[in-house]
Structures are given as C-alpha cells and as structure tokens.
Structure 1
Amino acid sequence: MAAMTATINVMLAIHGKKTTPIDLYKPLRHYIAQHYSEREAQDAEEDLQAVQHMRTDIERASDALEARRDLLQQYFRALSVMESRFPISNEKEHVNTLYFTWYDAFKPGKKATQQNIHFEKAAIAFNLGAVQSQIALAADRSSPNGLKQACNSFQFAAGAFSFLRDNISMKASGSSSTVDISVECAGMLERLMLAQAQECFYEKVLVDNKPSSLCSKVAKQVGLYYEEAYAALILPPLNQHFDRTWIAHVQLKAAQFHAEACYRVALQLHDQENVAEEIARLKAAGNMLSEAKKSGKGVVGPLLDAVSKLEANINRNLDRAVKENDRVYLMRIPPVESLPSLPAASLVKSAAVGELLDASKEKMFAGLVPDSSAKALSKYTEMLDEVIRVQAEKLQQESEIARVKLREMNLPDSLLSLEGSTSLPEHIRDEVEAVQIDGGPAGFEAEMRQLKDLRRVNEELLVQTEEILEEEAREDAQVRTQFGTRWTRPQSSTLTKSLHDRANGFAANLKQAAESDARIGRTIRDNAPLMAILNARPIEASLPTLGRPILSLNQNEDAIVGTLRQKLAELEMLGSERAGLEDMLKDMKRKDNILPKLMTTSGSYEDLFKKELAKYDPVCAEVAHNVEAQERLIQQIKAANDAFATTFNLQEYLGELLFSHSFSFSFGKVVFFVGEEYDIFFHANIIVVV
C-alpha cells in the first residue's frame, strides 16, 4: 500500500516527502551583503550556518522520530524568520538562485520545483504531520500510556495538516506544485488523523468497559470522520492521485465503525428488551459491512479479519434476536430508514500547532530589519501611544473630579473637625507661621514703631538734603554777582535739577508711606481682639471645631459618620486603583515588543495590530469600570454628606470657620536710594492685610 504503514491494529501512518540537497548559505549571504552590508553578513554567519545545517539534516531524514519532529518544527520557525527578510523569487533584486525541490509523498515519481519559500514551508508542515502519524503508529496501544500517546500524536498530526491547509497550501499551490500539499489533500489527511485519534478513544472505552451507549457514540464519530475522509478521496484531485487500496481502506473503516455503532447500541436495546429496534439496527449494520466488503479489494488482511469478526458477532446476535422475537415478543420490525440517526460524541480535535511553529521569539537574523517592518512598528507604536494617552487622561481626569467634588463638599475637613483635627490650608498656615516667627501681634506693634522712627529719620535726611541744595544755589548766585561774565560754570539750578526732582519724588513716597502706615495702624487697632489668635501655637488650637449637637432628633449620628467615612475610604481605594492601572499600562507598553511578530507574520499587519492591541482591552475595561464606580460612589458620598451636614449643623460651623480664616499676613520691603555725594535712603515696611 503506497505511502501507508499498516499494523495489526489497522491504522495508517503517512510517509514523509523526499527532497533534493540545496545550498542555502551562499545565496542568503550574498543577499545580506548586497542589500544590507558585509558587516551584517559577517554578523549573520552563525545563523546562516545553522539554517544550512538544519536543511542538511532534513535531507538525510535519518534521525529518530521525536528528534525529527523537533528538527522540523525548528526549521519551520527558521523559515518563518527568513520569509520577511529574504524575498525568494526569480526577480533580479530577490534571492533568485534558490530552487526548492520536493517529491510527492503519494506519487514518489512526481516532483515539483519552486522559487517560493511557502513551497518549502508547505513541505515541512506536511512532513511534520507525517512524522507525528508515524510516532502515533509506533506507540504500543496495548498499554494505557501507549494508547494516550498514540491518540495525542494523531491529534497533533491532524493539527499539522490543518495548519498546512489553512495557512500555507494556497501560497504554495499552482501548476508547479504537488497534490499532497494541496488544500484538498491536507483537509482529507486532517480528517483521517482525527478518525484514528477517535479510534484510540474507542479502544479505550472498550478496555474500560464503558456503557454500550457511550461506546456507540464514540464509534459513530469514528465512522463520521472516516466518511469525511472518504468523501474527499473520491473527488478531484484526490480520486486520480491515491492508490485504490487507500480509498478501499478508508471506505471499509467508515462502514466498520458505523456498523460498530449499530452493534453497540443493539446491545443496549437488548438489555432494554426493545427487540424490534435491536433487529433493525443489526440488519443495518450487516448490510453496511456486506456492501463495503464488495469494494474492499486490496485492503490489508488484519482489517478484513476485524470486519469479518464484527460481522460474525452481528449475525450471531441478529439470529438470537430474531428467534426471541418469533417465539416471545412477536414485534413488527421497523424499516431501517425509519430509524433515527445514532448520536455521535467527538472526543478529539486537531491540536493547535501554531504556538509550536510561532517564530516570534526566535532570535535568528534579529539584526536584519526590513524597512516595511520598521514602518509597521512605528505605526503600531503610534496606535499604542494613543491608547495609553486616552486611558491616562481618563484616569487623571477622574482624580481631578474626585478632588474638586470633595472640596465642594468640604471633605474630609468636616470629618477631621469632628475629631478635633481642624486644619488650615497649607498656604495660610505658612503665612501664619511667618507672622508668628516675627513676633505675632506684638511684632506688628514693634514694626509700626520702627516704621514711625524710620519715617522721621528719612524726613530729617530729606530736609537736610534740601537745605544743602538751597545753600549751594545761594552760593552760586553770590559768586555770579561778584564775578559776572567771568564766572563760566553752569548755573546751580541746571546742575541740581535732577536732584531736586528726585527729592520731590522721595517726598511724595514718604507722604504715601505715611498714609499707608496710618491705614495699617488703624486696621491693626480695629482687629486687635481677632489678631490675638495669632498667639496660639499651633494656630489650629484657636479654630472652632465641629461638635455633636446637644439636642438631636437623629439618634444615628455614629452610623451617619461611619457611612461617610466608609465611602471616603472606598473613594481612596479607587484612587489607588487608578494609580495602579496607570502604572500597569506603562509597564505593558514598556514590555510590548511586537517586532519579532512583525518579522514573522505572513498575514495582514492590520490584523496583527488589532490582535496585539486587544491585549490592552482588559485594562481599558478596568479603567472604564473604575470611572463608573467613582461616579456612583460620588453620588453616594453626596447623599451621606447631606445627612452628615444636616445632623451636625455643618453650615453654622462653616460660617465660624470662614470668619476665622478671613485674615492672613505677609511682609514686603521697599528700599529707595538717592544721592551722588550723599547716600540718603528711605526704608518702609509694608504690612498687607488680606
């Protein structure tokens, strides 16, 4: 039987495709040196040799099955890495001296040659499925572990053929391809491998003495899988490609397990004394086997033996059931076509081999980054930055909203006041402390006295300056009268004009300072009782506190306060959660490197971007949930605060607190300089009352 190995258990394994030797090293190195640089070609030397070594080992095909499986997976990942870096075709600027040649697994006399890396990948994926089927067939199914290994390996073989069909076959197909890697053949082989994996489960349920109903369902699904494989084999292009014994084998196996399902359900019907349907099911099973055996020419002896044994069991049970019905039950036998279809239970599926063949973590040829991949990475980075920016703005906005809402409700200050922990705003506390350092109210009085003394000194200096200027003017006039035109110096009024102007300006400043000092003095005297609180250290000790009402109509003050505190604590937790979410987004972005995936993907960049950005959807959903939770919580805090304000007369307390916060103090110094020969200055301290 071509491309098939049969055992006494009558299952199939696929022979791998053969190939011809090929030199990957020289064409790839030449391309790197030509399109990148000689330096990068030297850096890629180790990777080039590794790829060539893998290809040579695959050509020999002499390793053990497990080692060969691992080699095929490794080489497939290397091909995926090479795909984005080395365009292989007959075009001038591509790697145009590489020709991949592979023989058909089922028609070894036919071969195909392509300058297409997908053709090479298709052959490797096919051989991976083939070697997995060989591992399955080599397992000892007489033991539980061997049976499990066989089942798993058949499912991995199905996964490899499924991957070939869905991802590679269309890219490698054409007039110069082979039928064995076509979509139709890969799909047929997947169903065949699933049928044999399900058959392993059937062997297991028989060994475990499971109920006949379960055995029937499992057998029915085995038959369905074989039936699907048979349907593909009798249609083009496979009907003219496979040996007739292949088609006969699969057809007979389908009939065998459809009959097995009927046989097993008949055993259940016998126990239920439903003899009429039992007879109908057994007749249907016998007819299936009789028809299938007519076209089973060329199938292996063990399969015919298994079918004959099943047929004998069916006929024996049928004879017994007919006799019982004739003697005891006398029930009418329903037509076979009137019977409902037997249920099936699929216990297997094609293994996901995509992760095993994913090359995104491969470091081979990592230094070679095509322009297309670099541009795609830049676009993805922009898209990711936008996602992070939008979410960060939401988080920051919610924190600001929480701060403003709490300030509007005078929280948590109201609660702190209830505990005797009234506090001033930080900027007011700083100003009060500055006043206290300068002596408090007593310091104001000392400053005012000092201001008065300084003003008197400045006024005296100004008078002295004006007298000096007047004396200088009289002397100038006297000399001019005495010497007449012989006195050629400029007039005194011309030389001293700027000094007179500055003296007049200083006189105006002194007058303004005196008026300001007078106003400040009156303000200090008028507010002397209030300013006494500046002697308190700390200043909060002199502020009013919020106390419990002496007479209250509401006896649940503690519950009201407790609820408000709890809601504020929950709000604080939401704030901490927002900080954690923002850090999480930044950390995810820092670790997000999709360049290896960009370099190995064979699909659309947009699809990859969509898939990769989906990683952030859970965090974005948490951000949205946090925002919604805060909106609800703010409403709950407002309701709790309204109850708190009503119970504790909060408006009256806020009025007292506002009055106590109405004054703050700051100091400033203004210094004036005048004089050429004379260093005369005016110094005024200005106290500003807010």
Structure 2
Amino acid sequence: MSELLAIPLKRTLEVDFATELSKLIDTTSFQTASFFQSDILTVVDARNNAIAPDISIDGLSALKEYYVILLQLEKKFPNNQIEFTWFQTLSQKSRGSSQYSLQWEKLTIIYNIGCMYSLLALNSNNDAAESLKTSCLYFQNAAGCFKHVLDHQKNLETIPVVDDATLNALTSLMLAQAQECFWFKAVQDKHKDSLIAKLSQQIVDFYCEAINDAQRGKLIRSDWINHLKAKKAYFSAVTYYRIALSFNEKKQFGSVVKALQMGLQFINESTLSSQAKFKTVVESSLKEAQRDNEFIYLQEVPSELPSIKPALMVKPSSSATLLPSIKKDETLFKDLIPIEVMEYCTAYNERQDEYVEQRVTNPLASLNKLLKESMTTFQIPQGLTKVSEAELSHYQASLNNLLINNKNVQVQLDNIEQILNEEAFTDNQLRLKHGTLNWTLPESSTTNTAYYEKLKKLRGYLDEGSAIDKQTNELFQSIDKNLIGSEIRLPESNDHLTNKIKMIIQERNDYIDRTRRKSSEYRILPKIITSYKKNGTVDFEPIFIDHLKYFDEDLRYVNSTKEENIKLIEEVNLNKKNNPGKSGIEPKKMVRIDPRELYIEDLRYSFKLLDEVKENLSAGTAFYENLITSTSNLYNEVQEYDTARRAEKARLDKSLTFEDQ
C-alpha cells in the first residue's frame, strides 16, 4: 500500500516566554516572577521541544507535554497577553499569522499533533499486519485532532487555526487513508469480494468529501486535489472490479461485464503510479468476461448496476483519549493566585459596594432628600444651573438672526411686488398703444390675483413674526443676567431650624463620603488569598458574609438617623403651623421674609423668562425657515409668470406693429 499523504507540521517563530511570563506575573499577581523561575523555564523548554519535533513517538510526546502546559497557563494567565506566530505549510506559499491568544496556540498545537499522527502513520506503514493496524489507528487519531480543532475554533476571538473547509478536507483524507489500511488488510486476508467492494466504496465516499472541501478551502494545493481525484477514481475502479468478482460467483455474467466496464472507465481517470498494472488486470478480465458472455452465457448487460452500500470501519478518535490532561502532581505556578480568584475578588468588591450603597449611603441620601423637601426655602429648585456668558451671547445672536431673516424676507417680498407691478404697468402701456380691441392678452389684474393674495398672506405672517420677535427681545432684555449668570448659591438663612437642618445634612453627606472611602480601603482580597492558599477552593461566600459585618456600625447609624429625621420633620411641620403666612394665609403680624425665599423667587422668575425666550427662539427659527421657503417659492412662480407674460407681449406687439405697416 503506497501513495498515502501526510500533513506537514505548521512552523512557528520562537517566543520569549521567559520575558513575557515574567511581565505577566509582575503585573497581574501579588508575587514576583523570580519566585516562579523554575516553572517559567519548564514552559520555555516545553515550547522549544514542541516547535520542531522529530517525527517520532518522542516528538509526539513533546507536543502533548507542551499542550498540557498550555492547559495550565490558560488557568493562570489572561488569554490575550502573549503573541504567537505560526506559518501554514499546506499551501504552496507559506503564510504566517500572529495572534495574542493562548487558546489559538493550544489549538495550533492540537493541529500539529494531528499532523504528527499522520506522519507517524506513513512511517509505520510497511504492509505488515501489525503496521497496518498502527497506521489505521494513527490516521484516525489525526482525524480526531483535526475535528477537535474544527469544533473548538468557533469559540476563538481570533482568526481560525485553519479554515473550516480545509479542516474538513483533512479529516476526510485521514479517514480515507485509515479505511484504506483496513481495506488492504481485508485484501491480504482474502475476505469476500463483496465485503472488499463495500470497504473500497467507503474509501471513495471519503475521498469525495475530501475533494469537495479541499476545493472550497483556502490552503490545499492543486496537485494534492488532483491526487485525491486520482485516488477516488482508483478506488472506484477497485470497487467495481471487486463487485464484478462477486457477480461472477453468483453467475450474474451480464453484471460482471457492466461492472468491469465501469471499473475500466474509472481506472482510465486515475493517474496513480499503480494505475497501469491494475488497468491491465481490469482490461484482461473485461475481455474474458465479454467473450464468455457473448459465446456461452448470453446474458443481457444491464444499463446500470445497483448502488454499492459502503462499509464504514473507521471514525475520528475521541480527543478525550488523544489529548492528555493535567496531573495533580505536575501543576505549574501552583502558588500563583489564578485569574479566577482575582475575578472572585472583583465580583465581591462590586457586591460590597452595592451593599454599602443600598444599606448606608442611599438611605442617608434619601433621608436628606426628605428633609430638604420639607423645607420650602431650603434648596434650589431642580434643573436650575448657572448660565454661561457664552450661552447668553448665543441667545442674543439668535435674536439678531431672527431680525436679519425678517429683513431678508421683507426685501424678497418687495421684489416680488415690484415684479408684479412692473408687469401690470407694461401690460397697461401696450394696451393703450394698440387699443383694447387689438390687445387680446388677458389683463394683468385677472392673471396676477393669486400671486397678490399669496403676497398678502406672506406679509401678514411676516408682521406676526416681527411682533413675536419684538416681544422675545423685550423678554430677553428684562432678564436679570447677572443673577442667572452667577454661581447659584443660597444666601444664609435667618431661620434657626433651617440652619440646624443644613448642618445635619452636611454631617450626613460627610458620613457618606467617609463610608465610601472606608469601603474602598477595606477589601476582601487578603482574606480570599489566605483562604485559597490554605484550602485550594473557591468557595468564598462564608468569608464574604463575615467580611460585611465590618459595616454593622454604619447600619446602626442609619437607623438612628431615621428616628432623628422623623423628629426634625415634625418640628418643621410645627413651625409651619405656627407661621401660617408661608402657606398663603394672611398673617396677623409682620413676619420677616427669609432671604432664601426672595433669592429663589427671583431665580425662578428669571429662568422662567429665559425658558420663554428659548422656546420663542426655537419656534422663530422654524418659522423663518418655512417663511423663507414659501417666499422663495413665490418668487420663482412670479418670475416664471413674468417671463411668460413678457414673451406673449413681445409676440403680440410685434404682430400688431407689422400689421400697421
């Protein structure tokens, strides 16, 4: 058995693992890289042994040892921190790809393990029974590796190790060659021709799949594809030759002739080196079968034969049996805090922050809000912020733009009216010149009515716009710009209760800030690291629950402030009751107005005026856009009307003048 294919190993560039891992440890771990020098050197040696292995069992072991190390690195380090470069070797031109991905490196090594199995299968093949069994197993192992890469590279965030179509083609090729080993052993053992035909038919099916995927893929060379086609044709011929022998045993001599004819057709399509010898056998058998059938058996040669059911004897080996796993006593970087633990710490920190917000800071902020809402003169209305000088200048510029648009529209409307007036004047002059009976054009007063009506409407809209613009400008000028343009700060209150509540609110705000700082400084990381080193497990929930007890004092403070809040609000309500003038009831005696009330009222009024100005500016901008569009449309219509009338007048004037002569 010969003319089998092996998949060449992918080639790579060296990676300075020692430097890269040292950087990672120093930047992502509490330990220093010097503590793990022995483990780092183990990784370096493993990759150096795996990147250019001998084609041997030792070379296969080197690849698998490095694969196990990559499994360990995945558990300890981020996936996207080290760059790997690999070169394709299937295509005629070697192409390199570089990716920051441990997973990509791992799948590439699995791909190379598959290549190694295919190379070992060829080296093991000497047609002896035991070597056929070994080669068959190795080809199935290679198919299992390629299928594993195909199934798992879908989860990569990088480019694939090899495109899917090529991987499918390689898997089918390996299975075809594994089936071929099984077929060859059956031939050696002289099994029934019908069984051998079924075995070879399965080889044909595998080669069909390999050819289809290879033609869709990006890497398999054309000479390989031609070889696959030659193998398919050869084993198609083998299938029909063996089925012909089976028909002969059943004395179906017409079918023998048909099978050998089809076998000869396929063997002629094959370009394998063994084709010539086999072709001689088929041709000789066909001549003999045709002669015997024509002179002795006289059976009809069928136009077609029943399909041959393939006998599948191989499948991709399971990656679970092919690929090794991590052994407990061979763990690298076992004292390094893994990423998973750091992620737990991050998650617990987020939960701690949420706990503090929900149980301490948010309740205190809500209590402050209730106090503020109970005081009518306590806080600045929401949404009121200082207006910048640039913003005020923008509003003034917008007002100026409205005036400019108004003037431009006015000029355009005057032009329209002038065109209509001049047209009517020339019509009247020509009518006087030639006489009413001779001047047969319709009078301008009957043709331009619609234009004058539109003009009148537009002037009305313009006048309305002018009035609103004037009102908006007066509103803007009446705004206290110094007030809204200055930093908004409430003046000091002359009310004792107001000042007391202000002080309490400030104390609570300070407490909120202190609690947040305390939470950010009191983290669970040291406790988790201690627990992980001691137990080696990631069940940290009991530790976290105990960790949160640190904030019990803050929870008690929140409960005490709730009671304080109730008393303060009751005091505020009592104060309002004793001073009903603030609720709209006429007081019986003079009450001094809180300066905060005066400030807030002035502020509210100025911002109310500003809101009206902004609303008018927005509406005015849209108004003038529409008015300008309507005016331009009317101008175009009037120009077209004037042009048409001029032409009609010129023709009629010329005609009447010619008649007079």
**TM-score, L = length of structure 2:** 0.50
